[in-house]
Amino acid sequence: MQKKINSALISVFYKTGLEALVKTLSEQNVTIYSTGGTQKFIEDLNIKCIGVEEVTTYPSILGGRVKTLHPSMFGGILGRRDNEQDLKEMKEYNIPEIDLVIVDLYPFEETLQQTNEEKLIIEKIDIGGPSMIRAAAKNFKDLTVIADKNDYEVLNEILKTQDGATTIEQRKSFAAKAFEVAMNYDIAINNYFNGTIIKPLKNKTVLRYGENPHQQGSFYGDLNEVFEQLNGKELSYNNLVDADGAVQLVKEFDKEQKAVFAIFKHTNVCGIAVRDTLKSAWDAALAGDPESAFGGVIITNKKVDEETANAISEIFFEVLIAPTFDDAALNILKSKKNRIILQLKNYKASDKQFKSVLNGTLVQDNDEGNYIEWKETGGKPSDEKQKEELTFANIVVKHLKSNAIALVKDFQLVGKGCGQTSRVDALRHAIEKAKQFNFDLKGAVLASDAFFPFDDCVKLAHAEGIDAFIQPGGSIRDKDSIAYCVENNLVMIITGQRHFKH
CA distance linking residue 23 with residue 49, whole number of Å: 12
Q: Which residues are catalytic?
A: 138, 266
Q: Are the C-beta atoms of 7 and 95 separated by less than 8 Å? A: no
CA distance linking residue 100 with residue 7, whole number of Å: 6
β-pairing, 360-365 vs 352-357, is antiparallel
Q: Which long-range contacts (CB under 8 A, 24 or more apart) does 325-333 make?
A: 325/230, 329/304, 329/305, 330/230, 330/231, 330/304, 332/306, 333/231, 333/304, 333/309
Distances (CA, A) of 301 to 258, 304, 311, 323: 9, 9, 17, 6
In sequence order, the β-bridge partners of residue 381 are none
Interacting residues of 402 by C-beta distance below 8 A, sequence separation 6+: 418, 419, 449, 450, 499, 500, 501, 502
> Which one, of 338, 148, 366, lies nearest residue 247 by Cα?
366
DSSP assignment letter at 334:
T
Q: Are the C-beta atoms of 274 and 257 separated by less than 8 Å? A: yes
